[in-house]
Amino acid sequence: MTPIDMKRRALMGVGAGLTLAGLPAAASAQERPQPPRQMLSAATFGARGDGKADDTAALQSAIDTAFGPAGPGYLVIPPGTYRVTRTLRFATARGEKGNITRNHGILAHGARFHSAIADGSNVFEFVSEATVRFLLIEGLDIHGSGRDGHGILLECEHKEHYLYNFCLRDVTVQGVGGDGCRMMGNVFEGQIVNTYLRDNKRNGLTLGHGARAGILSAIHAFGCVFGQNGQYGVGMVNGCYDAAFHGCYFLLNAKHGLVALNGCTLLSNCGFENNHESAPSFDKGGPGMWLQGFGTLIGCTAYSMFKQTRLIDAYVVGQFVMIGCSGSGDAAAKGAGLARLDGEKKGRATVIAPSGQVDYVKEFSGLEISGAGGSGVRFGANWQSTNLAQLGDYRLWVDGKGRLRLKNGAPASDEDGKVVGA
């Protein structure tokens, strides 16, 4: 029990009835525990949800009260369509006095924010300038005007303040003028579940370290759809990389389904379909995913009938692994494949049981196991490859004249070592 809880219980004892007047404060608190805080309803503050009235002021008042120091923490928004004409915003007080470490959030199944914002402002913002945990946004549907900004902004751009252990669940954001959802700064250990971010003018979801401060990390998305957005389904920017996507679908975005400029921790059982809708043709299209740095893909698939050329293009700097992934196409995209891999000398690519064409750029090569075309194992052939066949301390490679060479230790040039066979 914290000192604050002890003081609160003591105050309850002082205010007890005459029959308890002779008891110690602690005993009174034990017999009369503090009742649980009740949820607030936006209707109590005058929010009508009829699609006609401007509900902005009522919703803002409800948010301020629910999330304020004396508030219950939870706001229920009843089913209905709530017209919003300016940003709904909650920003904590800065420092310890702004801390929120109890469960809190918005429960809004059946509720839609219909944005009438026309000046590029965001629809909903939650800005942490303190330590904030256990934020839940559930069931909310945001329908943008196309002239507004981001649908949902979660931000904590500080070195010493944090927004974490949060969850977005059963949320839909569509038609906004910016990103469907944007998370920036010290935003971490969060989940995005069964959320649909579609038809937004920029990205469905943008994740990034803060421009001023803050490291985004440990974000997990489950069963989400990122579709028909004006740029990317998901953009990972500002150096962030620690996000994972499980059973998510990326489709019909104007450009890539996912762009990870500094790597991506994990994609498992994700699908990429018919991205690059803005390209004029298949030969001008591109992959479902662009990755630079490192990453792991397990059981991911790509399918195209139009302009998506393959599952992934990657420039490998660290460790890149694909296991059981496939890429294919029909109709105009019948030439679609699986991957196009490039990278630095120190980069390592391992491809296990692929289905679809894997292409390598210049002298970069990967280690393929049960590769396409029925090969058992495919090693790098260039003497500089990080994936040369190695038997004990001996390396094998094919020189520029097509001869197999062997050397005890790493080769220093293409003609180092001994020629094997005739």
Q: What is the mean pLDDT of residues 382-391?
A: 75
Has residue 412 got a pLDDT over 70?
Answer: yes
Between 405 and 8, residue with greater pLDDT: 405
240 three-state secondary structure: coil
Q: Is 210 helix (H, G, I), strand (E, B) or coil?
A: coil
**Predicted local distance difference test score (pLDDT) of residue 7:** 37
Could you tell me the sign of the dihedral formed by the alpha carbons of 19, 22, 25, 26, in that order? Answer: negative
**DSSP string of 175-238, one letter each residue:** S-SS-SEEEEESEEEEEEES-EEES-SS-SEEEE--SSS---EEEEEES-EEES-SS-SEEEET
Beta strand pairing status for 111-115 and 141-143? parallel
> pLDDT digits over 167-225, tens only?
999 999 999 999 999 999 999 999 999 999 999 999 999 999 999 999 999 999 999 99
| Residue 169, burial from CB neighbour count under 10 angstroms (0-12, 13-18, 19+) | middle
The average confidence (pLDDT) of the chain is: 89
What is the mean pLDDT of the segment spanning 352-361? 94
pLDDT of res. 175: 98
pLDDT of res. 379? 73
Q: Give CA–CA dist 401/391, Å, rounded.
A: 22
Residue 391 has pLDDT above 90, yes or no: no
pLDDT at site 404: 86
Is residue 388's pLDDT more than 80? no
> What value does the mean pLDDT take over residues 158-174?
96
**What's the whole-number mean pLDDT along residues 71-98?**
96
Sequence-ordered list of residues with C-beta below 8 angstroms from that of 360, at least 6 positions apart, any chain: 340, 341, 342, 366
Choose the weakest-confidence range: 238-242, 334-338, 395-399.
Answer: 395-399
Domains of the chain, by residue range, sit at: 1-33, 41-246, 390-422
Q: In whole angstroms, what separates CA 122 from the centre of its chain?
A: 19
How would residue 254 be classed by pLDDT, with cut points 50, 70 and 90? very high
Q: pLDDT: is 368 or 80 the higher one?
A: 80
> What is the pTM for the complete model shown?
0.85
Q: How many residues does the chain have?
A: 422
pLDDT of 103-156, one tens digit each?
999 999 999 999 999 999 999 999 999 999 999 999 999 999 999 999 999 999
- Residue 93: is its pLDDT beyond 60? yes
Question: How many Å apart are CA 93 and CA 90, to the nearest integer?
Answer: 10
The larger pLDDT score, comparing residue 275 to residue 412, is at 275
Residue 34 pLDDT greater than 50, yes or no: no
Quick one: pLDDT at residue 389?
74
User: What is the rounded average pLDDT of the residues 64-82?
Assistant: 95
Query: What is the C-alpha separation between 199 and 252, in angstroms, rounded?
Result: 9
pLDDT value of residue 373: 57
Token pair for 83: 């017209």
pLDDT of 382 higher than 80: no
Asked: is 41-246 a CATH 2.160.20.10 domain? The reply is yes
pLDDT at 28: 37
**Closest residue by Cα to residue 48 from 85, 82, 75:** 82
pLDDT over 90 (residue 370): no
